[in-house]
Chains A and B, each alone.
Chain A
Amino acid sequence: MKQFSYRHTKEAELMDSVEAASKNASSMSEDELFSFAEFNAEDVERTGYSNYSYWRSTFQAFLKNKGAVALLVLLGLLLLFTFIQPYLPGQYDPNMIVNDANGMQYRNVPPGDMFLLGTNSIGQDLWARIWAGTRTSLFIGLSVAVAEALIGITVGVIWGYVRKADFILTEVYNIIDNIPNTIILILISYILKPGVKTLIFAMCLTGWIQMARFIRNQILIIRDRDYNVASRCLGTPTWRIMMKNLLPYLVSVIMLRMALTIPAAIGNEVFITYIGLGLPVDIPSLGNLINEGRALITSPALRYQLVYPTIILSFVTISFYIIGNAFSDAADPKNHV
């Protein structure tokens, strides 16, 4: 039942404006326009939808950081090359001492046609040694990061979540934390046979506790949030709370720490080798390459034996650091704008 009246001029005015406003309306008479529209309650429920995806936004935020992306690409290429390099034609074995026609070793040959980056003091090809060394150092770095993460997360989650474990583990932490890392590193390297496994073991031994502490602090923050309380009320067992409620929140912080652990581990390896307790010479690593080159820093002709390994080391370390930080920034929801 419609009750309306209008003056002729107003009707014309309004008809014009209504007509001009939308093309859909042109098919509708004025009566129809002012009649009730259909109301669909179900459709209305769908209006609350937003399609924000955390990981997608993190990815997009990371891509905006052109520097980090560039470094990531370069680092990836470098990594790829360390694997491909031995299969390329004309590569020397890193440990082979190359003799010339007369049986003399090609010692300290500067970079040139025969040896791309020259040779070292006993006649080994530096190019091959550098790539082998990078492989080893990266392997050490990644192994330490992964092992540290696995142990550290396991302990950290229990430490933070299980109230009874908190007391004991805190005491353990306080004791271990007070022992300087370098002493442990040195001791282990001294006691056990020098090798890649020893180094990884020694570095994990000192590194896991920090990761555990960090994870524990994060867990403490989210432990008593309502959604975890709800899970406890529903009878969810502790292991499932850890796997589905806690760990997914920590993925981005874990990845950041791992990204920073890699350069730290490589740096530690260089240090241990520097003080003479590192890898034996037949396992090339950036550490012992730099160590060998260090002695030659005073002679300008031979400096290349130090420079090239250092460049690679610096590049790898800085890249991981920058990429790790860029990822951490991207993973922060506040930056998803």
Chain B
Amino acid sequence: MEREVLLEVKDLEVTFGERKKKFQAVKKVNFKIYKGETFGLVGESGSGKTTIGRAIMRIVPSAGGEILYKGDKINGTISPVLDQKVIKEIQMIFQDPQASLNERAKVDYIISEGLLNIEKGIREADRKARVEQALLDVGLLPEFSSRFPHEFSGGQRQRIGIARALIMNPEFIIADEPISALDVSIRAQVLNLLSDMQKKRQITYLFIAHDLSVMRFITDRIAVIHKGRIVEMAETEELITHAIHPYTRALLSAIPMPDPRHEREKKLLVYEPEMHDYSVDTPDWVEMRPDHFVLANQKEVGEWKNG
């Protein structure tokens, strides 16, 4: 059965700066996200993963390629009708709960900000009811709507940010490192909330993070991105247990496990970008195992196939 593609990214390129100081953050990136799945994009700082998320949200302009949402091209200039559709159906959750909420506005306004933009004639009573429902949905109390963000802890603020996204009834949510800035014990709360929401509302997620252990828990498929290029993509368990690209393997070996014996005995794999010689033998996107793609040139395909 053919799965419905919700978002497709084709040959996406994003560059910053002009003329001499041009920096290519994203270099010809391709991937598809199917309806209802959680797609993970993992990479380290500077890899371009956040830029991809922002390009899909149209905060950052693309320099080349296409982003297709339900078949419509949404990068570049688009019609006001499509613009409204995108604003409603694609939402973003931000990394830093301290910076992502307007300190001078009440929680009430913060959560319903999107509603006021999209449903311009909404009645006050309706709006209040929806804000209260949104708060309950994320596990907060309705009485919080009259308070200011600084009165809440990091985890609660992040949940307010999620409520802000959920009140719009989105179909697609881009979560940009939603738990990196939270305390360890609070992360679980937010992760549970996100997966609950997915089950209840069939939301599709693009989950951006640098932590593979979190990815393993929450995503269905993962793409690994390094310096603006996707180097490996597969279903989560497949990627973690049969990682092929040396960068992915280095990432996996570096994850700290809460098991002293394991940590003492493990050997750290180090990734050296210089190991690739792409001057003559250019790399291709190769399906090296069923539904498991790797960026490799001919030589590497031969080497890596045998583990």
A contacting B, Cβ–Cβ less than 8 Å: yes
Q: Which of A's residues lie within 8 Å of B, judged by CB?
A: 42, 45-46, 48-52, 54, 225-227, 229-237, 244-245, 248-249
B155 to chain A, nearest CB (A): 8
B105 neighbours in A (Cβ, 8 Å):
244-245, 248
Chain B 85-124 against A: per-residue CB contact (8 Å), 1 yes, 0 no?
0010001101110011111110001000110111000000
**A-B pair number, CB within 8 angstroms:** 73
B109 touches A244 (CB 8 A): yes
Q: Provide a sorted-by-A list of 17 A–B residue pairs whose CB atoms are within 8 angstroms.
A: A45-B140, A48-B152, A50-B150, A51-B151, A52-B150, A227-B99, A229-B59, A230-B92, A230-B100, A230-B164, A233-B87, A235-B114, A236-B113, A236-B117, A237-B117, A244-B104, A245-B105
Given that A233-B92, A235-B118 are contacting pairs, would A227 and B151 also be in contact in the complex, using a CB cutoff of 8 Å?
A: no
Q: Which of B84, B95, B114 has the most CB of A within 10 A?
A: B114
Across the interface, B96 reaches (CB within 8 A) one of A45, A226, A244, namely: A226
A229 touches B94 (CB 8 A): yes
Q: Which of B's residues lie within 8 Å of A, judged by CB?
A: 57, 59, 83-84, 87, 91-92, 94-96, 99-105, 109, 113-114, 116-118, 139-141, 150-153, 155-156, 161, 164, 168
Bound CA–CA A54/B150 (angstroms): 9
B102 touches A235 (CB 8 A): no
Bound CA–CA A236/B118 (angstroms): 9
B117 touches A46 (CB 8 A): no
A46 neighbours in B (Cβ, 8 Å):
141
Given that A48-B152, A230-B164 are contacting pairs, would A235 and B99 also be in contact in the complex, using a CB cutoff of 8 Å?
A: no
A231 neighbours in B (Cβ, 8 Å):
102, 113
Given that A244-B102, A244-B105, A249-B104 are contacting pairs, would A226 and B94 also be in contact in the complex, using a CB cutoff of 8 Å?
A: yes
Q: Which of A52, A233, A236 has the most CB of B within 10 A?
A: A233
Given contacts A227-B103, A234-B114, A248-B105, 15 further A-B contacts (CB under 8 A): A45-B140, A45-B141, A48-B152, A48-B153, A50-B150, A51-B151, A54-B103, A227-B101, A227-B102, A232-B59, A235-B87, A235-B118, A244-B102, A244-B105, A245-B105
B141 neighbours in A (Cβ, 8 Å):
42, 45-46
Across the interface, A230 reaches (CB within 8 A) one of B94, B103, B140, namely: B94
Bound CA–CA A234/B113 (angstroms): 7
Bound CA–CA A225/B97 (angstroms): 11
A335 to chain B, nearest CB (A): 16
Given that A45-B140, A226-B94 are contacting pairs, would A234 and B117 also be in contact in the complex, using a CB cutoff of 8 Å?
A: yes
Bound CA–CA A237/B116 (angstroms): 10
Bound CA–CA A231/B96 (angstroms): 15
Bound CA–CA A7/B211 (angstroms): 52
Bound CA–CA A48/B141 (angstroms): 12
Nearest B residue to A245, CB-CB: B102
B59 touches A226 (CB 8 A): no
Bound CA–CA A215/B161 (angstroms): 28
Q: Which of A45, A50, A230 has the most CB of B within 10 A?
A: A230
B95 neighbours in A (Cβ, 8 Å):
226
B139 touches A233 (CB 8 A): no
Bound CA–CA A51/B148 (angstroms): 10
Bound CA–CA A287/B117 (angstroms): 53
Nearest B residue to A232, CB-CB: B59
B100 neighbours in A (Cβ, 8 Å):
226-227, 230
Bound CA–CA A49/B148 (angstroms): 11
A227 neighbours in B (Cβ, 8 Å):
99-103
